[in-house]
Structure 1
Amino acid sequence: MGYQIAIDGPAGAGKSTIAKLVAEKLDFVYVDTGALYRGLAVHFLKEGIDETDETALTKACEKARIDLAYENGIQQILLNGENITSLLREERVGNLASRVSALQVVREKLLQTQREIAQKKDVVMDGRDIGTCVLPEAGVKIFLTASVETRAQRRYEQLIREGKQADLKKIEADIQERDHRDSHREIAPLKQAKDAVLLDSSDLTIPQVVERIIREKENAGGN
């Protein structure tokens, strides 16, 4: 069984960036579970699926094959053999993924995939419910957060760097809505595991956050 580091937290907290760097320093495999859900969201959008139609969602899940691949050490998401990684960060994809990730049929589709990866390899896995549901026995659990204002500003700056238009107030509103939806959903809501370390990155640099997590692993006695 691989060693498992679970990093949970709200949208825009920097989970993916931090998890990638921690995995790189420890020579672990990085698993972006949010990307898996976004991959299914891309599938639903391509198929024109109504997210309120459970029968259609179930059939769509049966037709979808979501796989992980790595290109120059960077995780890629394959949908039925097609690399769709470039589509994953679109706002409509992220918003749909947040909504459908609360559905049992969607969670069951991806839960076993995530656990199988963690059984075979040393992993750093980030998402919304890794420490509470997916990997409850993880050796290290981190709940990574930051203020809404900080997360919105980070997202705004990222979009500007990419040459895209951005509205800071709208980004803040979207983050607040997603926080509420993720934390109040009936199935696997976003919450801090009882044995997780709370880490607020609002006033920390990326290297400081990475160092804190690695220190937690050392303190936990991880090999």
Structure 2
Amino acid sequence: MKPPFVITVDGPAASGKGTVAGRLAAAYGLPMLDTGLLYRAVGVLAQRGGIDLEDALASAAIARRLTADQLADPDFRTRGAGEAASRVAVHPDVRAALKDLQVAFARQPDGAVLDGRDQGTVICPEAPAKLYVTAAPEVRADRRWKQLTAQGEAVGFAEILDDIRKRDERDGGRAAAPMRPAPDAVLLDTSEMTIEQAADAARRIVEAARARWETS
């Protein structure tokens, strides 16, 4: 039996991967999981409970109780949530606790789109279509700054750029499932692209992968 058609979209913060993943999910009629929200949820819920984000065991206990239907909380999309996510994501116990949820989501009969950092390398290494979406740090910082200021957060561009660089270092340097492209992922640099251009380029990449999957 042919495995489900899974699309993984990995990459650093504010690269455009979430938008790309959402457009792909709509284009192919597939469910989508923003896996970064899982880590944001763990970080925020830990903070609400007075738990130190360096406490791997307590953070993992929160991760084990987490379900996908808890992810609508707007607090999970703030700047602070992103920082908290990056800190709890370094814990192997947290990653292990969230892995089953992500794998189960990917195994839906018709397939799925998963947006994250390690979807093509750890969660779904067998996925037929893999993208690694990136952009220059300054471009990503500008996008995130505009997003946060539109949400009413008072923050300067320099602070956001510093956050982006620190998160890249933390996410790429962690021992457990570091952020990096899968060997067979297609790199999509959105630095000079509009949203529409990035979405169109992503669809072309996925169409090529789908053609190979259908004839395999």
- TM-score in same-fold range (> 0.5): yes
The 3 A distance-change label for structure 1 pair 110 and 34 is same
2:89 corresponds to which of 91, 94, 101? 101
- Aligned-partner SS, 2:107: helix
The residue number in structure 2 matching 1:71 is none
The residue number in structure 2 matching 1:72 is none
2 CA distance for matches of 1:110 and 1:59? 10
Partner AA of 1:47 in structure 2: G
- Aligned-partner SS, 1:210: helix
2 CA distance for matches of 1:38 and 1:163? 19
The residue number in structure 2 matching 1:65 is 66
Superposed counterparts of 1:8-19, under 5 Å: 8-19=10-21
The residue number in structure 2 matching 1:153 is 142
The residue number in structure 2 matching 1:206 is 195
Q: State how many pairs are aligned.
A: 209
The 3 A distance-change label for structure 1 pair 59 and 198 is closer
**Quick check: 2:9–2:120 contact (8 Å CA) kept in 1?**
yes
- Deviation at residue 36 of structure 1 after TM alignment: 1.2
1 CA distance for matches of 2:119 and 2:160? 25
The 3 A distance-change label for structure 1 pair 162 and 59 is closer
Structure with the larger helix share: 2
Partner AA of 1:184 in structure 2: G
**Quick check: 1:8–1:128 contact (8 Å CA) kept in 2?**
yes
1 CA distance for matches of 2:43 and 2:120? 23
The residue number in structure 2 matching 1:123 is 112
The residue number in structure 2 matching 1:168 is 157
The 3 A distance-change label for structure 1 pair 85 and 60 is closer
Partner AA of 2:131 in structure 1: I
List alignment gaps of at least 5 residues for structure 2: none
- Deviation at residue 211 of structure 1 after TM alignment: 1.5
1 CA distance for matches of 2:192 and 2:31? 27
Q: Give the fraction of aligned pairs with identical amino acids, expressed as a percent.
A: 37
Partner AA of 2:103 in structure 1: R
Deviations 1:122-142 (A, max 9, x none): 211110111110110111111
2 CA distance for matches of 1:161 and 1:58? 33
List alignment gaps of at least 5 residues for structure 1: 69-77
Runs of 4+ in structure 1 off by over 6 angstroms are none
2 CA distance for matches of 1:13 and 1:102? 20
Structure with the larger strand share: 1
The residue number in structure 1 matching 2:55 is 53
- TM-score, normalising length: structure 1: 0.88
